[in-house]
């Protein structure tokens, strides 16, 4: 990165970061409208949370498909097609006649949004490696992590003068903007001679090779399981903050969005200090911080402590995600330059698959308790730490 113009690097990180924000905006922007959607369709909180689950499944499956396609056909064309589909799906969500159709269209919307996440990361690996990849990825996350900060506040602002339908119309406008940026500003970064053959069995073989790489799987699970815990937080806090603690949609958006700050802090600390502190050390620190914060959340939930006592440890829990994600991604991708799209897809699919499972569980005990949230984020923190020690650390010692 030292041989490139800093202004050009920042512009590229800004553009790729915007594509990364499509996932958070698609997930988070309608969260303040959850109670309104329940009333609109005369349905239950669990069914509305199922629309989030459908979106997460779409994001997961879509990354597997779009990551492979981008290794075969390049980065630009799959991204263009996906942005067009995203616009159509967002408008279909806006005019859904019932909760069932909303769930279906949310899956399609998530599938299309997945291209922005996985292909932006594959482009980063096309251009950089090593510590340069860590620094560039932290820049990308600096923009991408603004999504969780801005999305719920934006959604709340839209809800102040219109219904939840307006949220999805706004998302369609975002999709149009990203389609335009892809068309006119994004150059192809994967030349034809570096593309993988268009062969379904070959793509399956690539995924098989990656899944047999013990260290890659360890990084993938450590990062992915941690992020699944964030989806429990995303799914549960709209009801916990508003129904249990009586927060207004605006206060909820501010509290929820503030955790975008912790994500940014976590990712930027890793990016700026990667030459002094190893990514391995940062990953271990992030896992320990998440475990400690999740224990506090569970205790506060059990004793039904005040709102601030819940918000503070959640702030540190989400910050730990910024640390672990920024550290784990370059470690996992370092040896995967020959199939960066497929590797980025697997790194992206696990969080959304697990998030799709975890999200509905937050409401399993009803809308009047935060205990399931505490249990789930503690369980994910513990599972992520075990994955790191048994797959990454153990395999490193075996090699040594």
pLDDT of 1 strictly over 50: no
Please name the residues in contact with 296: beta carbons below 8 A apart, sequence gap of 6 or more: 313
Q: How confident is the model at residue 399 (pLDDT cuts 50, 70, 90)?
A: very low
The answer to whether 325 and 23 are in contact (CB under 8 A) is: no
Residue 346 included in any domain:
yes
How confident is the model at residue 148, as a pLDDT?
64
pLDDT of 199 strictly over 90: no
Which of the two residues, 141 and 162, has the higher pLDDT score? 162
pLDDT of 149 strictly over 70: no
Q: How confident is the model at residue 400 (pLDDT cuts 50, 70, 90)?
A: very low
Q: What is the CATH number of the domain that holds 38?
A: 1.20.1250.20
Which of the two residues, 353 and 400, has the higher pLDDT score? 353
Residue 1 included in any domain:
no
Residue 356 included in any domain:
yes
How confident is the model at residue 271, as a pLDDT?
78
Summarize pLDDT for 50-107 with one digit per residue, the tens: 898 899 889 888 988 888 888 888 899 999 999 999 999 999 999 999 999 999 999 9
pTM beyond cutoff 0.85: no
Q: Which domain holds residue 194?
A: 6-399
pLDDT of 293 strictly over 80: yes
* Average pLDDT of the residues in 333-350: 76
Give me the chain's average pLDDT, please: 84
The answer to whether 153 and 257 are in contact (CB under 8 A) is: yes
Which of the two residues, 373 and 152, has the higher pLDDT score? 373
Residue 355 included in any domain:
yes
Domain tally for the chain? 1
Phi-psi map region of 203: left, alpha, beta (phi>0 left; psi -120 to 50 alpha): alpha
pLDDT of 4 strictly over 70: no
Work out the percent of the chain whose per-residue pLDDT is above 90.
31
Which of the two residues, 290 and 34, has the higher pLDDT score? 290
Work out the percent of the chain whose per-residue pLDDT is above 70.
92
* Average pLDDT of the residues in 147-171: 84
pLDDT of 174 strictly over 80: yes
Q: How confident is the model at residue 6 (pLDDT cuts 50, 70, 90)?
A: low
Residue 316 included in any domain:
yes
| Secondary structure in 3-state letters for the chain | CCCCCHHHHHHHHHHHHHHHHHHHHHHHCCHHHHHHHHHHCCCCHHHHHHHHHHHHHHHHHHHHHHHHHHHHHCCHHHHHHHHHHHHHHHHHHHCCCCHHHHHHHHHHHHHHHHHHHHHHHHHHHHHCCHHHHHHHHHHHHHHHCHHHHHHHHHHHHHHCCCCHHHHHHHHHHHHHHHHHHHHHHCCCCCCHHHCCCCCHHHHHHHHHHHHCCHHHHHHHHHHHHHHHHHHHHHHHHHHHHHHHCCCCHHHHHHHHHHHHHHHHHHHHHHHHHCCCCCHHHHHHHHHHHHHHHHHHHHHHHHHCCCHHHHHHHHHHHHHHHHHHHHHHHHHHHCCCHHHHHHHHHHHHHHHHHHHHHHHHHCCCCCCCCCHHHHHHHHHHHHHHHHHHHHHHHHHHHHHC
* Average pLDDT of the residues in 18-25: 85
């Amino acid at each position: 990165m030292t041989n490139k113009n800093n202004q050009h690097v920042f512009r590229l990180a800004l553009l790729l970061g915007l594509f990364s924000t499509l996932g958070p905006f698609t997930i988070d922007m309608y969260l303040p409208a959850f109670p309104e959607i329940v009333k609109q369709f005369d349905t239950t909180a669990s069914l509305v949370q199922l629309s989030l689950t459908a979106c997460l499944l779409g994001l997961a499956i879509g990354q597997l498909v779009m990551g492979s396609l981008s290794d075969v056909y390049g980065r630009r064309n799959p991204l263009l097609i996906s942005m067009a589909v995203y616009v159509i799906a967002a408008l279909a969500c806006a005019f859904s006649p019932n909760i069932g159709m909303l769930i279906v269209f949310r899956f399609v919307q998530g599938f299309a949004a997945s291209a922005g996440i996985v292909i932006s990361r594959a482009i980063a690996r096309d251009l950089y490696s090593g510590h340069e990849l860590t620094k560039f990825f932290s820049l990308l996350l600096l923009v991408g992590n603004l999504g969780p900060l801005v999305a719920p506040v934006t959604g709340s602002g839209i809800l102040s003068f219109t219904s939840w339908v307006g949220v999805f119309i706004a998302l369609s406008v975002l999709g149009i903007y990203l389609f335009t940026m892809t068309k006119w500003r994004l150059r192809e970064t994967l030349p034809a001679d570096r593309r993988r053959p268009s062969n379904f069995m070959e793509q399956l073989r690539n995924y098989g090779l990656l899944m047999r790489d013990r260290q890659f799987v360890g990084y993938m699970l450590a990062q992915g399981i941690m992020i699944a815990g964030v989806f429990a937080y995303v799914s549960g806090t709209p009801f916990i903050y508003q129904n249990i603690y009586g927060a207004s949609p605006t206060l909820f958006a501010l509290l929820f969005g503030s955790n975008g700050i912790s994500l940014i802090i976590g990712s930027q600390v890793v990016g700026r200090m990667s030459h002094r502190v190893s990514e391995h050390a940062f990953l271990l620190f992030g896992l320990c911080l998440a475990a400690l914060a999740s224990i506090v959340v569970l205790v506060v939930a059990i004793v039904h402590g005040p709102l601030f006592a819940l918000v503070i440890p959640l702030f540190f829990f989400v910050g730990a995600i910024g640390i672990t994600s920024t550290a784990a991604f370059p470690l996992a991708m370092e040896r995967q330059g020959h199939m960066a799209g497929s590797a980025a897809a697997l790194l992206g699919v696990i969080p959304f698959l697990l998030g799709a499972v975890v999200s509905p569980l937050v409401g399993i005990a009803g809308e009047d308790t935060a205990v399931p949230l505490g249990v789930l984020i503690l369980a994910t923190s513990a599972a992520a730490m075990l994955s790191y020690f048994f797959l990454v650390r153990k395999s490193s010692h075996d090699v040594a």
